[in-house]
Amino acid sequence: MAASFKPIRSLLQTGTNSGSRWFSYIGLGIGVLLLLCSIQMFINIQQLVGGESKRKEGYDFISISKTITNETMGQLEKNLFNETDIKEIAAQPFIQGVSPLVANRFRVQLSAGDIIPFSTDMFLESLDNNFIDTVPPNFSWQEGQDYIPIVFSSDFLEIYNVFAPGYGLPQLSEATASQVVVYITCYGPNGVQQTFRGSIVALSDRVNSIIVPKNFLDWANNKFGNTTSVRASRLYIKTNDANNPDFLNYLQQKNYKVNKDKTKFGRVKQVLQGIFSGLGIFGLLVVILALMLFSFYLQLMIARSKDNLQLLLLMGYSPNWLSKNVSKQFVPVYILVVLVALALTGGMQWAFHHFAMFDRPELSSMLHWTVLATALFLIGLSLFTNYRMVRKLLYRLV
């Protein structure tokens, strides 16, 4: 149809209630601005914390234990991980591997022989080799071998060096520490005991423990101890991102204890993302409210112009053409409103990057493409709801 809409425009009575129209435009603008800003901030947080910094090996290794409370104190089965727990943890999508730290189930005494007059009751633990950061080739044991290689926590060595002078013991460098041969005596029931030689073959920054080959500890637990079932007080977890909110939520929900420092950023991120998700949802609600307000305005406008519109339809104007043209009247305003909100969001992002984040390279001064896509989507959404509304109202007049 070649007919022009221009003479028809004056038949739509809009003058008397322009207040509600402007309110809905402003509401729409504020809602879109809130929504776009929230999305952009959400992405900023994602880029600033976690995500971007892949670990050296690509994984985080962290140990978890069950939180010991006053209620569970003394109930070993409640404070240890059993096989079901381990299987369940391993099945989580954000966990790439899990290994129990198995401890000795018998008495172990360690002495440094004649060079250093030092002897103490000790503990030994074993862990999958994959989970240890430093595994030298000689870290292995076979039955019958009386030499045990040990992976020792660097933290423990540091602690030793702190208290050694007070006890008249020599402080040890890392190199010397691995020279020292220690004697490990295992005590079983009925006075059974066996002494092994051992030496530190590597120091570990990751594992806070004294690690011996797994097959040795399994064998010794069997021989000197009285249980073979896997019950570990600590688990080592291999994960892509220790700051992953899902991972943290899972730990929290299970009441597992984790090194807070390693997941600190994750918690901050969780809180911030929560805040901005909330703001985003609020923005979306404002957008919906504004669209509703606008639809009321449309209803009012069409009700006021009912006689004129009915007469146009009666003269042979197509209801489809009329709905298209009536709703087209608001296209420029809608686009303008969203573009203004988009420009303000762009300004906000630039200022945030420049003034608050001092041009950190992880961020960009430009808007993320999802923000642009959302803006486009919102324009589409408002035009579509608008058109549907007008069409519905006009067909009611036919």
Partner 1 sequence: MQLQLQQLLPVYFDESQRSASEVWRKDLSFSKGEYIKIVAPSGSGKSSLMHFLYGLRNEYNGNIVYNNRPLRQYTAEDFASYRKDHVSIVFQDLRLFPEQTVFENIELKRQLNPFHPAEKIREMAERLGIGNKLASKSRICSYGEQQRVAIIRALMQPFDFLLLDEPFSHLDDKNSQNAMGLMLEEAKLRNAAIIFADLERIDYFPYTRLFHL
Contact set with partner 1 (CB under 8 A): 1-4, 7-8, 10-11, 308, 311-321, 395, 398
4 vs 120 by CB, closer to partner 1: 4
Q: Label the pairing between strands 107-111 and 147-153.
A: unpaired
Nearer to partner 1, 254 or 391 (CB): 391
CB of 3 to partner 1, least distance (A): 5
Helical packing angle, 331-351 and 369-397, nearest 10° = 160
Minimum distance between the CB of residue 337 and partner 1, rounded to whole angstroms? 30
For the bound state, the minimum distance from the C-beta of residue 252 to partner 1, rounded and expressed in Å, comes to 59
Of 65 and 329, CB closest to partner 1: 329
Q: Which is nearer to partner 1, 197 or 388 (CB)?
A: 388
Residue 316 CB, nearest approach to partner 1 (Å) = 3
CB of residue 21 to partner 1, shortest distance in Å:
21
- Name the minimum Å distance from CB 269 to partner 1: 55
163 vs 395, beta carbon nearer partner 1: 395
Nearer to partner 1, 4 or 228 (CB): 4
